Homo-oligomer: A and B are copies of this chain.
């Protein structure tokens, strides 16, 4: 999917919502577990059906599927295939290795599983990232500044040239890719840094995970992060997926997703549409 197509979807739908399919079999409604031979896929299918008109992206957190072995990979494949091609399909896999191996990961996620994007860890530098950038229409989403406590250990440490590690990652990586094949993961609790990062990379998309149930941060994230292409994909996982564990779970998921989308439309209406 091109940047232009993604931006178009965002403005047409009034939404930059990404629904995170961090599907944990231990949290599924009892009736799904009882009735389905692939409960994880059945659950995801219902969530996709009930949210696809109000979100623009789905993010599959591969860890939740890998932990279930072959069965988990089957659920992942079925889910990936079920996500409509109109939606931006993210493998949240945080891969990254030497060139030869990264090439295999790129092949896995782009050719074998047909994702639009994969999250990549920057620790090993340029040649670990570049193999993912060879695929036209495909994206990498590079870890930059995450919102977990451990982000202070390295990302928020300052180099002798005064740059923080996350700033160096953003600055260096701009020589590897561009705003048409490279996005950044920016944690939702870092609203104070989002406007700073937006200054460094005015044109790039940010994937913002970690928006909570209350959505308290969405206004701040949007205020500092939106640009004329939209420029944001805000991921919400658990508060949508597990809105209810009764038979009506998909409707309840939609209700929560709709709350986010309505708020997003408001913020989008305040900026001019991209051409």
A residues within 8 Å of B by Cβ? Answer: 22, 61, 63-64, 66-70, 73-74, 77, 92, 94-102, 104-105, 107-108, 111-113, 121-129, 143, 146, 148-155, 157-160, 162, 165, 168-169, 172
Contact = CB atoms under 8 A, between A and B. Distances in A.
22 contacts: A63-B102, A63-B108, A64-B101, A67-B112, A69-B73, A69-B113, A70-B70, A73-B73, A94-B96, A98-B148, A99-B148, A121-B124, A122-B154, A123-B123, A123-B155, A124-B146, A124-B150, A125-B155, A127-B150, A128-B150, A129-B150, A159-B159
A18 to B, nearest CB: 16
A188 to B, nearest CB: 12
Nearest to A146: B124
Contacts of A158: 159-160
Contacts of A154: 122-123, 125, 165, 168-169, 172
Contacts of A66: 104-105, 108, 112
A67 B105 contact: yes
A86 B22 CA distance: 36
A67 B106 CA distance: 8
A255 B64 CA distance: 41
A97 B98 contact: no
A108 B63 CA distance: 8
A68 B162 CA distance: 43
Nearest to A125: B150
Contacts of A151: 124-125
Given A95-B94, A148-B128, A158-B160, A74 B70 contact: yes
A157 to B, nearest CB: 6
Contacts of A105: 63, 66-67
A158 to B, nearest CB: 5
Given A64-B104, A92-B97, A98-B146, 10 more contacts: A61-B97, A63-B108, A67-B105, A68-B112, A123-B155, A124-B143, A125-B149, A125-B151, A129-B150, A159-B160
Contacts of A77: 69-70
